[in-house]
Structure 1
Amino acid sequence: MKYFKRLKADVDPTPFLDEINGIDHAWDASTGRQDKIAVQREAKAIPLRGLRKSAIGDRKRRDVHESRWTTGSKDYPVARAFLEEFARDQDSILGRAKIVCLPAGKRVYPHIDRGLYYRVRNRYHFVLTSTHGSWMKAGDEEVRMQQGELWWFDNDQMHEANNDGDQDRIHMIFDMLPSHLAEEVLGTAA
C-alpha cells in the first residue's frame, strides 16, 4: 500500500476513552467541524490543537503553519502526553490535533486536505473505538483500521470515511511536521 501504513497495533485505548467519558458534554463544546466544514458535517470533534489565530494575517486558514494547544486540551492530559511522545519518537513537530467521533451510519465525504499546511505534514489516525474496523479510502486504496491501531495515511489523495458499524467510531487525528523541514516552513530550527 502506498497511501496507508499501519505504524502500531494493540495500543490500549482505555485511558483515552476514560478521559473523554470523564468530561460532561465533551462532544458538545466545539461544533466548528460540523458547522464550517461541509465534508465533515456528520462528525463531532474535540479540538486538542488548533491553528494559532494570531498568525493568520492575510493567509487562508489552510495555509497557517503555526498551531497551539486549545484551552480545552488541558482536560485531556493522557491524549496530550501521547501526542507529545509520538512527535518526539518521530522527530517531528506536532501540528493540529483533534479527537473525532463519527456516529454510526455517518460519513466523512470525499475530499483532499488542501493548503500549504497540509502539503508538508504527515497525517495520523489513532483508532480509539470501532465496532468492526474503521473503513477508510484514500486514492484507490481501502483499509479497515482496527481499535488500538495507529496509522499514517496520505491526505494529499482524495479520501473519505464511513462508519458502517452500529456504534460511534472515535479516532484521534493529528498532523506532524518532520523536524528537518522546521526552518524552511516555520523559519526556526526544531
Structure 2
Amino acid sequence: MATIQSYRFQHRSHHQEIDMKYFKRIKSEIDPTPFLEEIQGVTGAWNVATGRQDKIPVQREAKAIPLRGLRKSAIGDRKRRDVHESRWTTGSKQYPVACAFLEAFAAEQDSILGRAKIVCLPAGKRVYPHIDRGDYYRVRNRYHFVLTSTHGSWMKAGDEEVRMQQGELWWFDNDQMHEANNDGDQDRIHMIFDMLPSARAGDVFGSAA
C-alpha cells in the first residue's frame, strides 16, 4: 500500500503558466498507473454505485466510484448539498492507493478532505453545464486528477476552457457554470474531490472542529 510520505515527495509541483481565473494546474507528471491498476483489480467497479447517473441529470452520462460521501446521519433538516460532514465509503477500502493519495494531498495543502469519487466519462459522452450549488460547495476547493484522457480532458468554467492532460492535478472554480466533454475515443477517468482549508474549519464546524 502506498504511504502518505511517498506521495508527498514523488509528485512534482507545477505552476500554471497561463493566468486563468477559474483553473489552476497544481501538479503534473503524476504516474496514473497504480491508480488504474487498482480500479482494474476490482470486479464490476463501475457498477456498484449508480446514483450519479440515476439521480443527477447533468451527470447522467458519467459513471462513478464513491470514495468519500456525505455523512447521512448528519443531514437532519438540511438539504444534501448543505451537509458539510463527510466520511469514507465502505467501498473505499478496495482503493488504498487512491485513499493514500487523497490523505497526502490534504495534509500537504493543510486542508480537510470532503467528498471524493473516481469518475468515468465514456467516449462521446458529456457532463452538461451546471453550477454546484449549496453551502457545502461554497467553502471548499474542487480538484480534478486526470488518470486517463486520449488527447486531453476538455473542460469549461465561466468563459475559460482547458485541456487537462493525463497525470495532471487541477483546481477549478465550480462556483462558475461548468461542463465537460469526452471528445476522445477512450474512457476519460478522473479522481474528483473537494477540500476545506483548515483555517476555515471553525467557521464551518464550530466547536466540533
What range is the shorter-chain TM-score in?
over 0.9
Structure 2: gaps (5+ residues): 1-19
- Give the number of the structure with larger relative contact order, counting CA–CA contacts within 8 Å between residues 6 or more apart: 1
TM superposition score normalised by structure 2: 0.90
Tell me how far apart the structure 2 counterparts of residues 127 and 187 of structure 1 sit (CA, whole Å). 34
The residue number in structure 2 matching 1:43 is 62
| Letter of the 2:29 counterpart | D
Q: 1:124 aligns with which of 143, 153, 161?
A: 143
- Percent identical residues: 87
| Letter of the 2:84 counterpart | H
Cα displacement (A) at 1:187 = 1.5
- 2:38 aligned with 1:19, yes or no? yes
TM superposition score normalised by structure 1: 0.99
Q: Deviations over 1:109-136 (max 9, x none)?
A: 0000000000000000000000000000
Cα displacement (A) at 1:189 = 6.8
Structure 1: gaps (5+ residues): none
Q: 1:182 touches 1:188 (CA, 8 Å); kept in 2?
A: no
The residue number in structure 2 matching 1:136 is 155
Q: 1:80 aligns with which of 86, 99, 107?
A: 99
- 2:64 aligned with 1:58, yes or no? no
Tell me how far apart the structure 1 counterparts of residues 206 and 98 of structure 2 sit (CA, whole Å). 28
| Letter of the 1:5 counterpart | K
Please state whether the residue corresponding to 1:100 is helix, strand or coil. Answer: strand
| Letter of the 2:32 counterpart | P
Output the aligned Cα RMSD. 0.7
The residue number in structure 2 matching 1:29 is 48
Please state whether the residue corresponding to 2:147 is helix, strand or coil. Answer: strand
Alignment of 1:91-130 (within 5 A): 91-130=110-149
Tell me how far apart the structure 1 counterparts of residues 55 and 73 of structure 2 sit (CA, whole Å). 20
Please state whether the residue corresponding to 1:187 is helix, strand or coil. Answer: helix
Cα displacement (A) at 1:188 = 3.9
- 2:193 aligned with 1:174, yes or no? yes
Tell me how far apart the structure 2 counterparts of residues 87 and 143 of structure 1 sit (CA, whole Å). 24
Q: Give the paired residue count.
A: 190
